[in-house]
A and B are shown apart, each in its own frame.
Chain A
Amino acid sequence: MDEVVKMKAENVNFFYGKTQALKDISLDIHAHSVTAIIGPSGCGKSTFIRLLNRMNDLIPHTQLIGRVYLDCQDVFSHAADPVELRRRVGMVFQKPNPFPKSIFENIAYGLHVNNIKDKDFVETRVIESLKKAALWEEVRHRLHESALKLSGGQQQRLCIARCLAVSPEVILFDEPCASLDPISTAKIEELILELKKEYTIVIVTHNMQQAARVADYTAFFLLGELIEFNKTQELFTAPKDKKTEAYITGRFG
């Protein structure tokens, strides 16, 4: 675990039209650690994680007040380029979303859009990414088959490999196990613990056990507010806020 702050949200307020989805959120994301965001549905946790790579830019009529920093640079400033940001901050989505292409092309896609054309390099990188995502052994003989033939869990690991291939610094996981069975979930969790050695990880989850298992830090969101943020161990064993306590002991949510 590292104390360097990789990303930082500072007094972030976010609006969908007139509805305020995030209220004055300030949060530090430490490098080479896993930060989990937990909270009941509609608490703004997905909205928050999608701010970190400016995915919410795609939604019309939204407004942000506040700042988000990556390595001390304001990612929403006029000079900042969302495309460049997304190359440094990758994302794995709730539902596996492989492209309707072959396994190989899915992973090579990110390299192609970055104008990397050297065939040998692409091939090495594809294999390397599949190995890191613990998928290589399962697909090594069928790299050119359609990615849609893989199981849900394999598809999600493929999406992780696809994300790793462009060498991001931060990886955002938006409920990555929501549509997976327990065995696939266990594999993804194991993978996340492995990946934090090299990457900074933020994971949104509605599963508190998952947060307790993988995260170094945990943030609890409720109705768009950050109620409590602490080291996971402390948040789960000695919550400072009554609402956090109520949530983690299962009294609501």
Chain B
Amino acid sequence: MRKFKEYIIEKLILASGLASIFFVIVIFLFLLKEGLAVFKIVTPANFLFGKNWYPISEPPQLGIFPLILGSLLVTLGAAIISVPIGIACAVYIAEVAPVRTKEILKASIELLAAIPSVVLGFIGMVTLVPWVKSIFKLPTGLTALSGSIMLAFMAMPTIVSIAEDALYSVPRSHKEGALALGATHWQTIYRVLLPAASSGILAAVMLGIGRVIGETMAVMMITGNAALMPHSFLQPVRTLTATIAAEMGEAVVGSEHYFALFAIGIVLFVISFAINITADLFLHRKR
């Protein structure tokens, strides 16, 4: 009887494990089935590197290069802002802050992660966008820069908490060894702790970037959504995610437009997958 119970429980756990893998595979297959149909109309090269995205003109022009660049530009901007601040914040929490400050900071960063992206987007729209507009004297504040700043806020909690864990898991003996040699606190952080935690910190950065590139709502609200080739941070851009979210509702099921949106989904899937794999590699490199 007891054996039978064990057996049932084991199989149930196995089934739940398999289910998650099964769903991922089914989702991917569905994406492929719907998305690959677009390549009957455009070649993969024209799809990826075409400069015009006019999905409902006749005939439709389905080049997603401006969208890819839009996503990359916004992500790059967000990374430039959030990575240094995030790592510095992690160092402060892990190494410098007194116990009370540390607790308060950690709690507030977790709180930042809990804000729904649509709320962040909304706040960005009414505060950040007018600032960007008046500071740079632009016709509109809905730009890649605004999106980057907003997304930096969303990447920060991931980067800070994972980088802080990485710093925290550096053995205390490393730190003591450095200090015993007469290293200052900063020399210890810079020359011993950061290098020893580097793989974890890189993983933190990759996961933060992964979060940014998949983000939809906030970018849709504040990047202006113009599917044009971006030339600078001060222009409206449109990202891959925002395109799908904005257009899926109006695309006719079975049309070229509909297939193209699924193909964008495949591109996003591949990008996120690559980023997660890279992050995993970094995490597991640390013995």
Binding site for B on A (CB under 8 A): 53, 55, 58, 60, 83-84, 86-87, 90-91, 93, 95, 97-101, 109-110, 112-114, 159, 162-163, 166
Contact = CB atoms under 8 A, between A and B. Distances in A.
Nearest to B196: A100
B33 interface: no
B184 interface: yes
A19 B191 CA distance: 35
Contact of B182 (A60, A83, A93, A159): A83
A53 B179 CA distance: 10
B180 interface: yes
A113 B180 contact: no
Contact of A113 (B171, B183, B195): B183
Which of B171, B175, B176, B181 has the largest number of chain A CB atoms within 10 A? B181
Nearest to B286: A100
15 contacts: A55-B179, A83-B184, A86-B180, A86-B181, A87-B181, A93-B176, A98-B177, A99-B174, A99-B178, A99-B196, A100-B174, A100-B196, A109-B181, A113-B182, A163-B180
Interface string B167-208: 000010111111111111001000110011000000000000
B186 to A, nearest CB: 10
B99 interface: yes
A6 B183 CA distance: 23
A90 B177 CA distance: 10
A93 B179 contact: no
Given A109-B191, A112-B191, A113-B187, A97 B181 contact: no
Nearest to A111: B181
Nearest to A88: B182
A114 B175 CA distance: 16
A84 B181 CA distance: 10
Contacts of B179: 55, 58, 86
B182 A110 contact: yes
Contact of B174 (A55, A90, A97): A97
A58 to B, nearest CB: 7
Q: Is the interface of B mostly helix, strand, loop or mixed?
A: helix
Nearest to B190: A113
Which of A53, A93, A113, A159 has the largest number of chain B CB atoms within 10 A? A113
B182 A84 contact: yes
Contact of B173 (A86, A97, A162, A163): A97
Closest 9 CB pairs of A and B: A87-B182, A97-B173, A91-B180, A110-B181, A113-B183, A97-B177, A86-B182, A113-B187, A83-B184
Contacts of A97: 171, 173-174, 176-177
Contacts of B99: 60
Contacts of B173: 93, 95, 97
Contact of B178 (A53, A84, A95, A113): A113
A101 B193 CA distance: 12
Given A97-B171, A99-B196, A113 B176 contact: no
Contacts of B171: 97
A109 B178 contact: yes
A58 B177 CA distance: 12
Contact of B181 (A95, A100, A162): A162
Contacts of B183: 83, 109-110, 113
B191 A113 contact: yes
A33 B264 CA distance: 75
Contacts of B181: 86-87, 90, 109-110, 113, 162-163, 166
A84 B179 CA distance: 10
B184 A55 contact: no
Contact of A58 (B174, B176, B191, B195): B176
Nearest to A159: B177
Contacts of B178: 99, 109, 113
A97 B171 CA distance: 9
A42 B187 CA distance: 32
